Amino acid sequence: MEIEQKIVNIKEIKENKDNPRKISKSQLERLKLSLQKFPEMLSIREIVVDENMVILGGNMRYRALKELGEKTVPVKIIKGLSDEQKKEFIIKDNNIYGEWDVDILQTWDIDLLKDWDIDDKYINKINDNKYVNINKVLVNTYHPDKIVNINDCINTEKYDYLCKKINQMNISEDIRRFLLLSATRFIEFNYKNIANYYASSSKEVQNMIEELLLVIIDVNDILQNNYLKFTKDILKRLGVNYE
Amino acid sequence: MSEQFDYKKDFVVFILSYGRSRNIKTKYLLDKNNYTGDYYIICSKDDKSLDDYKKLYNNVIIFDKNDYIDKTDTIDNLNETKIVVYARNAVYDIAKNLNKKYFLVLDDDYDTLDYRFPFKIERPQGKKILYENNLDYLFKKTLEFFINIDFDIIAYAQRGDLIGGKGFYDRVYQKRKIMNSFFCRTDRRIWFKGTSNEDVNTYLYYGQRGYKFLTIPYVIIKQEITQKQSGGLTDFYKNYGTYVKSFYSIIINPIAVKLDLMGNKYKRIHHKINWDLAVPYIISDKYKK
């Protein structure tokens, strides 16, 4: 048996007239939509044809692509199969062994699953499933995720402008001092950036950032753990199972 | 391990009420759900319906606003007295006098408590509401959480908090509000600020300075729509308009708070907080060197 992969003109391949699989008009429309949304799928899983360019696997995708007006299509050409082997392939290619694991699926985005046309019976099972994966939604301390420059932690534009104005005034020094201190109210601290900066700082700088209360450290993950415990207590009271 | 507490001995609920002696919905909420702990209705000396309160209830505590006028920063010079901020500050002393370590402060117009999660859950038969017949369970668990995490004040969510989706649930490290229901510690006094918007002003003022507040998003407290009832803060809104309250929070934090338009059909002016500029983030200690 020889296998060859290439991109061919869609007119070169032929639908298998003896294909026992059927597709309804609405299913075909959904397949067309699915192919439009994720065209890369075709390159990952090509249409399988024999040496005569007759389709062994992918008849429905071929029809959908033809209706979509596609000119070329990636194919896998299989040479040397007997007629019986070709029939066996057609059947086995379309058999679905196994079931989807609903406990895992429910941690995925249900809207995307619907969008990807997973069988409705699984969507119903997900909705019916009493198990709730709460760990996934209960991350309640911030996890720094980017490198930040110290200048991104503070914005003194307005403060500088006000100071300049105050310094140009003909006033006593005690009033100037008061006004200059008042202008500090317009210094902008970006606490998100500070949290990110903290993560990559030296130990000495980290200690001072903590002392200045520019971040709050969840020591031993006390907040995180208790938040989870509280939520579990409430769910337990409600009779909801959770993971 | 955190400090031990005796629920009955150490905890009390306060209902702040003004001019609504015959319409204290929160009292009904506690009674019908078999809350068994102590609770008191907190009234101020200047309330004209004080006699009615005393006649109707045997658990009324009266405080004098004059004791708090000089101590409270109202952020204006309106000398308005029909405001709730004095009561919010008085309850710390009332709790101390009652020898209570922790207290929950509620307004008087709460209809229901409910819960909501960011994932679908099935409500088992007979447990349609979280606290049904056992508000004590909810309060005990909330107190346990509050004491263990060692925060200054925590609160339940209000209905509007959940508009905008899941973000509110998983961003406790960032959005640290306290509104409508306040679990407080007697030994950690917080001075509420402002003639209006005192809750927002307070969490912004103290939050920026590293005080720790948070809202539990799962438990929702529901009240009648503000400004439709008589009594309470209604008179203030009638006199000054609801939009004025946003300015108090801008004065408290002119960097993080801006004016914004809220609502879909009928726009109204409201405050909008940029949380990245408002309070320090809470981060896991695994990032500490």
Q: What is the DSSP string of B200-232?
A: HHHHHHHHHTT--EEEEEEEEEEEPPTTSSSST
CA separation for the pair A192, A164 (Å, rounded): 28
Q: What percent of chain A has pLDDT over 90?
A: 37
Given an 8 Å threshold on Cβ–Cβ distance, is B281 in contact with A215? Answer: yes
pLDDT in tens, A117-132: 777 777 777 666 545 5
C-alpha dihedral (A156, A157, A161, A167), degrees to nearest 10: 20
Contacts of A241 (CB under 8 A, 6+ apart): A130, A131, A132
CA separation for the pair B147, B187 (Å, rounded): 12
More confidently predicted of B186 and A143: B186
CA–chain centroid gap for B111, Å, is 15
For residue A156, pLDDT over 50 is answered with: yes
CB-closest option in A141, A188, A214 to B284: A141
pLDDT score recorded for residue B218: 80
pLDDT in tens, B257-278: 988 876 665 667 778 899 999 9
Q: Does A204 touch chain B if contact means CB atoms closer than 8 Å? A: no
pLDDT score recorded for residue A87: 83
**What's the whole-number mean pLDDT along residues A96-102?**
70
CA separation for the pair B51, B276 (Å, rounded): 48
Selected for mutation to probe chain A from B75, B119, B258 (highest A CB count within 10 Å) is B119
Selected for mutation to probe chain A from B249, B251, B289 (highest A CB count within 10 Å) is B289
CB-closest option in B150, B254, B280 to A186: B254
CB-closest option in A141, A144, A233 to B141: A233
pLDDT score recorded for residue A209: 97
* CB contact residues (below 8 A), chain A span 140-159, against chain B: 140-144
Chain B CB contacts of A230 under 8 Å are: 141-142, 144-145, 216
Given an 8 Å threshold on Cβ–Cβ distance, is A227 in contact with B145? Answer: yes
pLDDT score recorded for residue B168: 56
Given an 8 Å threshold on Cβ–Cβ distance, is A234 in contact with B141? Answer: yes
Are A61 and A94 in contact, with CB atoms under 8 Å apart? no
Give A210's pLDDT tier (boundaries 50, 70, 90). Answer: very high
Q: What is the DSSP letter of B174?
A: T
Burial class (CB in 10 A: 0-12, 13-18, 19+), A210: middle
Measured in angstroms, the CA of A197 and the nearest CA of chain B are apart by: 11
Give pLDDT < 70 ranges for chain B. Answer: 1-2, 118-133, 159-170, 172, 224-242, 262-267
Count helices and strands (H / E) in chain B: 9, 11
pLDDT score recorded for residue B227: 47
Q: Closest Cα to residue B88, out of B23, B177, B38, B14?
A: B14
Question: Which phi and psi angles does B215 have, rounded to 5°?
Answer: -110, 135
H or E segment to which residue A216 belongs: strand A215-218
Burial A162-179 (b: 16+ CB within 10 A, else e): bbeebeeeeeeeeeeeeb
For residue A36, pLDDT over 80 is answered with: no
Are B140 and B97 in contact, with CB atoms under 8 Å apart? no
Q: Where are the beta strands (DSSP E) in chain B?
A: 11-16, 38-44, 60-63, 102-107, 110-115, 153-158, 181-185, 213-223, 257-262, 268-273, 281-284
Amino acid (one-letter) located at B194: G
Q: What angle do CA A13, A17, A23 make, to 5 degrees?
A: 95
Q: How far is CA B236 from CA A87, B70, B83, in A?
A: 82, 20, 8
Q: How far is CA A63 from CA A11, A52, B125, in A?
A: 12, 18, 50
Given an 8 Å threshold on Cβ–Cβ distance, is B285 in contact with A217? Answer: yes
The complex's ipTM works out to 0.86
Chain B CB contacts of A220 under 8 Å are: 285
Chain B CB contacts of A185 under 8 Å are: 254-255
Given an 8 Å threshold on Cβ–Cβ distance, is B255 in contact with A187? Answer: yes
Helix (H, G, I), strand (E, B) or coil at A122: helix
For chains A and B, count residue pairs whose Cβ atoms are closer than 8 Å. Answer: 144
Q: Is A118 left (phi over 0), alpha (psi -120 to 50) or beta?
A: beta
Structure token pair of residue B124:
């088992």
> Of A144-148, A178-182, B121-125, which one has max mean pLDDT?
A178-182
